[in-house]
Structure 1
Amino acid sequence: MAEKFVAIDFETANASLASICQVGAVTFEDGRVVDSWGSLINPQDHFDWVNVDIHGIDATTVKDAPTFQQIYPAMLDRLRDQVVVSHTSFDRTALFQAIAKHNLTGVSCRWLDSARVVRRAWAQWSRSGYGLSNVCGALGIRFTAHDAVEDARAAGEVLLQAISTSGIGLDAWMTLVQKPINVNARKPIGPTFSNQIAMKGNPDGALAGEEIVFTGTLTLARCEAAVLAAQAGCQVATGIRRTTTLLVVGDLDIRQLAGHQKSIKQRKAEELIAKGHPIRILTESDFLRIVDLVH
C-alpha cells in the first residue's frame, strides 16, 4: 500500500501562534517528494523582533502577500483527508489557532507528530535532544532551518528515516506514538495538584525535554498551569535560566509591546534569545491549546 503523508510547517510573526507569516507543505508518497508548496502570508498582525531575528520575515516582506484567509483554500486542498506530519505540536496548534482566529472551517485529516516518532525510533532522543535541527544534523539531512518549506521537508525526511530504521510503517506509527516510550517500564506517577510551582515533568509526556516558566497574569492559578505543563512532560521552573526553552506569558501581558511594559522574566528571556538561546515565547491560550492536544 502506498505510504503518503503531507509534512507542514509554519513561521509566526510574534508570540501568538495564530500570527502565521509563512507556510510550507511538502507531500511525500512512497518515500519521495511529489509536491512542494509554500507561501508568505500577511498575518495582519505586528512583528516581534524575536521572531524576525529567527526567520528573517518582517512586515515589509509580507506587505503584498495573501492573508491567511486567502491562502487557506490552497492549504485545505493539500491537507484534506491526508496524514499530516508536524515536528512537535506547535505547528498543529498554530493552524488550529489561526483557523479559530479567522472563523474558518477546520480541516479533516489525521495528525502525526514526527518528534514523538523520533523519541520512540531512536533511544538517544527518547527524553531530550529531539529538536528538528539536532536530529537532522545527526541523520545527515541538510536543510535551511526556519524556512517553512525546508522545515516541512526535513520533518518528512526524518519520518522516512524512522520508518526505514525501525521497519515500522506509517499506519503503525500512528498508533505507536500514543503509547509509552518504554512499554515495559513502570508508568511514571504524574504530578498532582498542589501550591508548588517548580516540578518535574512526566518523562513520557509529549513535551518532555522542555523547561517551562510562567509570567504575567494568567487565567489559571499558576500552580494549576504548572501541573498541566508537568503532565505534558515539561520541567517547570520558577525563573528564566539558560536551560529554559518555553516562556508562557498571560494573553493580556503579551500584547504590551513596549519593552519597559514587559515582565522581568520576559525581558530576561529576550536577552537570552538575543544571545542565541532557543527559547520560545507563547501566549497562555496557545499553551492551553498545546497541552490539550498532547494529552
Structure 2
Amino acid sequence: MQGINFIAIDFETATGKRASICEAGICVVRDGEIVETRSWLVRPQGNSYSYWNMQIHGIRPNDTVYSPEFPEVWAEICGYLKDIPVLVAHNAAFDIGCIRHSLELYGMEKPDITYYCSLRAARKLYNFGCNSLDYLCDQFKIPYGQHHRAGDDAEMCARLFLREIKDFGLCGLEEMKYYGGKL
C-alpha cells in the first residue's frame, strides 16, 4: 500500500467532557505498514474522574496524578503530525471533538490536519448490525490488546482502516474524502 500514510488516534476521557483526556494513543502507518504504536497517560484538568468513565477504561486519578497535561502530550503527537498530517479515528466525531475541546480549553492553536473516520467507512462498506471497533476487529480477526486503552484502540483502528481501504479497492486516502474532514 505504497503512499498510504496516516496516524490512527484514540482518546480515553476522565469524565463526560471531551476536554477531559486521560489517555492518548497513536498508531503510525507508513506505506500501509504499522511502524509504531504509543500511548500516554494524561492528567485531565483537576485530575477528576467520573465513576462511569473509570468503569469503561480502568484509568484512575492515582494513575494520572503525576502525568503530563494535554499540552505536553499534544506537543509530542504534533511531532508525528509534522511528517504525516492525517489522522484516522473510529468514531472520529468523538476523538476529533476531544482534540478541538482540549485545544480550546488550553488556548492552543488548531493545526491544519485532515482526518478520516473508520466508523463511517464501516457503516458504508459492511452490512453488520454492529460497527463498534471491537466487534469489527472480531469479525475480521484483527488482533488487539485491551479494548478501551488508547494505544491498543489506535492500533485496532489502524488495522481496521487498512482493511477498509483494501475492501473499498482504493489506491489512496484522498479517495476516502467522504469519510473525513478537517480538524
**TM-score scaled by length of structure 1:** 0.57
How far did residue 172 of structure 1 move? 4.2
Superimposed CA distance per residue, residues 79-119 of structure 1 (whole angstroms, 9 cap, x where no aligned partner) = 24522001111011011100101101112211101111112
The residue that corresponds to 1:82 in the other structure is: 85
Q: Distance in 1 between matches of 2:10 and 2:156?
A: 10
2:39 alignment partner in structure 1:
38
How far apart are residue 133 of structure 1 and its match? 1.1
Distance 1:146 1:112 in 2: 20
Q: Distance in 2 between matches of 1:147 and 1:42?
A: 15
Distance in 1, matches of 2:87 and 2:179, equals 14
| TM-aligned CA distance change 1:173 to 1:151, over 3 Å | farther
Q: Which residue of 1 aligns with 2:99?
A: 95
Whose radius of gyration is greater, 1 or 2? Answer: 1
Identity of aligned residues (%): 26
Which one-letter code corresponds to 2:81 in the other structure? L
SS at match of 1:168: coil
Deviation string 1:169-198 (CA, Å, 9 cap, x unpaired) is: 3324432437xxxxxxxxxxxxxxxxxxxx
Distance 1:33 1:171 in 2: 16
Bigger RCO (CA 8 Å, 6+ sep): 2
CA contact (8 A) 1:13 1:19 kept: yes
Q: Which runs of 4+ in 1 moved over 6 A?
A: none
Secondary structure in structure 1 of the residue aligned to 2:61: coil
Name the CA distance, whole Å, in 2 between partners of 1:136 and 1:101: 33
Partner deviation per Cα, 1:186-232 (whole Å, 9 max, x = no partner): xxxxxxxxxxxxxxxxxxxxxxxxxxxxxxxxxxxxxxxxxxxxxxx
User: How do residues 260-275 of structure 1 correspond to structure 2 at under 5 angstroms?
Assistant: none
Distance in 2 between residues matched to 1:169 and 1:90, nearest whole Å: 27
- The structure with the largest helix share of the pair is 2
Q: For residue 73 of structure 2, what is the aligned residue in structure 1?
A: 71
Question: Following TM superposition, by how much is the alpha carbon of 1:31 offset from its aligned partner in structure 2, in angstroms?
Answer: 2.2
Q: Secondary structure at the match of 2:65?
A: coil
- Counterpart pick for 1:48 among 47, 50, 71: 50
RMSD of equivalent CA atoms: 1.8
TM-superposed deviation, 1:152: 0.4
Structure 2 counterpart of 1:28: 29
Equivalent residues of 1:13, 1:48 under 8 A apart: yes
Instruction: Tell me if structure 1 keeps the 8 A contact 2:3–2:32.
Output: no
Gaps of 5+ in 1: 179-292
Amino acid at match of 1:73: A
Secondary structure at 2:63's aligned position in 1?
coil
